[in-house]
Structure 1
Amino acid sequence: MISPEPHAACQAAQAPLKPARAWPATFRACVLAACLISAMHPVHAAPVGEVLETPAQTVDERLPVPVVSVARAGEALIGVGPHGVIQRSVDAGQSWQQVTSPVSSDLVQVRFIDDRNGWIVGHDSLVMHSSDAGKSWQVQLDGRSLLTLLHDYYQPLADKGDDAAAQVLNEVATASGSTATPGVLAAPFLDVLFDGHGNGFVAGAFGMLLHSTDNGAHWQPWVERSDNERRMHLYGLAQRDGVFYISGEQGLLLKQDVAGERFTHIELPYAGTLFGVAALNDVLLVHGLRGNLYASRDEGQQWQKIDTGIASSLVNIIRQGNRWLVVGQGGELVGLDRRTLEVNTLPRVPGGEVYGASDSGKPGELLVSRFSGARVVNIATAE
């Protein structure tokens, strides 16, 4: 995979909690999409503090607009990507209109829990919320407020001799000191998820984890409340019946211990990076590099490897009818029977690498995000 030198905003966004650590290859694909747009839509490479204060510029719709993540909000479709760009479609993806964005930070993930309420996360420790089906967005958290939140939460604990709190503070100080903008924690959030009761989590690079009980109006740090002492990147979130799961690099899979208010480790027969987890009915699915997909029907006590026939990394698993759709980064697509877990190969999605996928709201169709933009495709024909 080509890894060009990223522009300044991307460099700042990759400031690590532990500088010796590196980004896995597939995540660099998303960074690539977030950086190469500069060649088509020239934007001043502003410091982190400025991109948090500067609304996204209007893109030239005559040129391809890279989209990293997509989601459905009722009848609307939402796509997000580099430089704070947010797009919205109300005609099943036939046309897209840019939505006003309060920031120009690179956006990584968008999720909706119902027809109106959704969240976007991205670089510069950004969390944004919409309560009107993606028509408008408000910042709930960013690299400045996160740094204050972490300090105010952990410093009193460290002063009382809490070693775990002191360790987090030291890591945060290292990370914030490596950015060109003082007072900003620039590491990216990579996923966000809420249930229908306002309970949710935001997770990100180098083990960053926060919890909210009021739809993101307030956050509580949970960095030390997980079996992730090595601060592995946290890539994906899922929840079932109010219990949350987190997937991460090097085979990391965590399950929420609701009573114990922490995340505990689930053993896997796989040590590669897991880009996502899906808690579907009675099946727990985890997916990652090189088409690897594992399923468990007993909360992770036993695992079954599923041969997807896909060589590229898996970017998403989407429920549709009586099957799940497994989407590969190379555009590969397979159906997975919900009862038997048998795989059915489907036509490949054309048009280059796929960064994300979502249900489009119509049977037989799929919404995908790519460097050339978001597109709704017919599953049977891939057109």
Structure 2
Amino acid sequence: MRRWLVAALGMAALFATGCHRVEEPLPPLPERLISISDKFFDVAALDADTAIVVGYGGKILRTEDGGFTWARIPSGTDEALYRVRFVDSQRGWICGQDGVILHSEDGGRSWTRQNSGTNAYLFSLHFVDHEFGWAVGDKSLAVHTRDGGRTWTLHKITSAVAEAQSAEEALAEQDPILYDVFFRDRDHGWVSGEFGRLFQTTDGGTTWVARERSLLGPEIVDVLAIPTFFGLSFASANEGVAVGLEGKIARTVDGGRTWKLDAVDAASALTDPLFAPFLFPEGTGWVVGASGQVLRRSSAVEPWLPASLGMEVATWLRSVTWWNHDIGWIVGGYGLILTTRDGGHTWTPALA
């Protein structure tokens, strides 16, 4: 009896101790730098391993190991950041909502805000050296600097050559949004935008001429049917492309004086927008767009063909860039960052 009582008391003590044991708190989960709610709008490659990604909510990410690990860089803003451009491994600029322009002189490790002089959305910028740059955005507005962004001058881009327009055309094309800008040097530049606007300058932006009417022909019979163009890229002083709505790609081979619709694989039947092109100097290139669309051109004389990323992509792709013919980057919605190190044969998503 005594032995049974001792055992019972021991069991009771054991259960009592278990019921009153204080659980150790679990360590907090590390904050994810990349999540499905992220929207990334642009990426710049600084070298074979270093890249900067910008996006919604003022987010800036930087990698130094080809995308294996990432660091979040303070931007000082919650505004969306749309474009990032570097002229060398150290000096770069970012533009975005509310006239935001940020500048880095240490390879994107830190950023300071410059006074753009406007609160308009700035969708794109481009620098040809550490002093000369342009940014473009809403309501046909642009800002220009000749001192690396210490001062910016406000412009409104309109065509220096007046063209006869119907009242409907004039109303539709009033203050179009400008989506992209590209300069080959301090004199020669191009701007693309809403209502198919394709502007060209040969005097550093002092004057601009609208060139989109050269697209009129059997495929586009009405000025109002020219699609909005979201992105520009030039392979040389003469050859460039603009991409936009309805999967349209316009091409110039005379420095932007005239444009024609470029050949796209007929089986692709593109209807969704294309957002960003990238051309290599020899004319090969890549284009990305809505619904995970990716196109590739293997030579300057061949049509654009669909390219596989090796995975199902259920979001828009906003930017594509390449460090060289092997190392490239694509970014888009749902926190998507893809990189390749074999010329686009295989793509790897970034996880952080």
For normalisation by structure 2, the TM-score amounts to 0.73
Using the aligned pairs only, state the percent identity.
Answer: 24
Between the aligned partners of 2:232 and 2:141, the Cα distance in structure 1 is 17
Q: 2:208 aligns with which of 249, 256, 263?
A: 263
- 2:6 counterpart residue number: none
Q: Is 1:246 equivalent to 2:191 in the alignment?
A: yes
Q: Is 1:66 equivalent to 2:10 in the alignment?
A: no
Query: Offset at 1:317?
Result: 1.4
- 1:276 counterpart residue number: 231
Q: Secondary structure at the match of 1:101?
A: coil
Q: What amino acid maps onto 2:286 in structure 1?
A: L
- 2:135 counterpart residue number: 202
Q: Is 1:214 equivalent to 2:174 in the alignment?
A: no
Between the aligned partners of 1:259 and 1:108, the Cα distance in structure 2 is 23
Q: 2:89 aligns with which of 92, 115, 119?
A: 115
Q: Secondary structure at the match of 1:193?
A: strand
Q: What amino acid maps onto 2:93 in structure 1?
A: W
Q: Is the 8 A contact 2:51 2:63 kept in 1?
A: yes
Q: 1:324 aligns with which of 266, 285, 288?
A: 285
- 1:7 counterpart residue number: none
> In the TM superposition, what are the counterparts of 1:1-383 in structure 2 within 5 Å?
60-61=32-33, 63-64=35-36, 65-74=38-47, 75-141=49-115, 146-147=117-118, 185=119, 187-196=120-129, 198-223=131-156, 226=159, 230-242=174-186, 243-258=188-203, 261-268=206-213, 269=215, 271-281=226-236, 282-308=238-264, 309=268, 310-320=270-280, 322=282, 323-348=284-309, 350-361=312-323, 363-378=325-340, 379-383=344-348
Q: Secondary structure at the match of 2:139?
A: helix
Q: What amino acid maps onto 1:380 in structure 2?
A: H
Q: What amino acid maps onto 2:228 in structure 1?
A: T
Q: What amino acid maps onto 1:369 in structure 2?
A: V
Between the aligned partners of 1:224 and 1:370, the Cα distance in structure 2 is 29
Q: What amino acid maps onto 2:289 in structure 1?
A: G
Q: Is the 8 A contact 1:73 1:115 kept in 2?
A: yes
State the Cα deviation string for residues 104-153 of structure 1 (Å, max 9, x = none): 222122122222221111111111111111110010125xxx25xxxxxx
Q: Is the 8 A contact 1:365 1:376 kept in 2?
A: no
Between the aligned partners of 1:279 and 1:191, the Cα distance in structure 2 is 15
CA-based RMSD of the aligned residues comes to 2.6
Query: Offset at 1:360?
Result: 4.5
Q: What amino acid maps onto 2:179 in structure 1?
A: Y
State the Cα deviation string for residues 210-259 of structure 1 (Å, max 9, x = none): 11111211111111665598211000011123311100100101111417
Between the aligned partners of 1:298 and 1:320, the Cα distance in structure 2 is 17
Query: Offset at 1:351?
Result: 3.0
Q: What amino acid maps onto 1:73 in structure 2?
A: L
Q: Is the 8 A contact 1:347 1:382 kept in 2?
A: no
**Unpaired segments of 5 or more residues in structure 1?**
1-57, 148-184
Q: What amino acid maps onto 1:367 in structure 2?
A: W
Q: Is the 8 A contact 1:234 1:246 kept in 2?
A: yes
Query: Offset at 1:293?
Result: 0.3
State the Cα deviation string for residues 261-294 of structure 1 (Å, max 9, x = none): 1211113425110101222213121111121001
Between the aligned partners of 2:205 and 2:193, the Cα distance in structure 1 is 21
For normalisation by structure 1, the TM-score amounts to 0.68
Alpha-carbon distance change, 351 to 258 in structure 1, aligned in 2, over 3 angstroms: same
- Paired residues in the alignment total 285
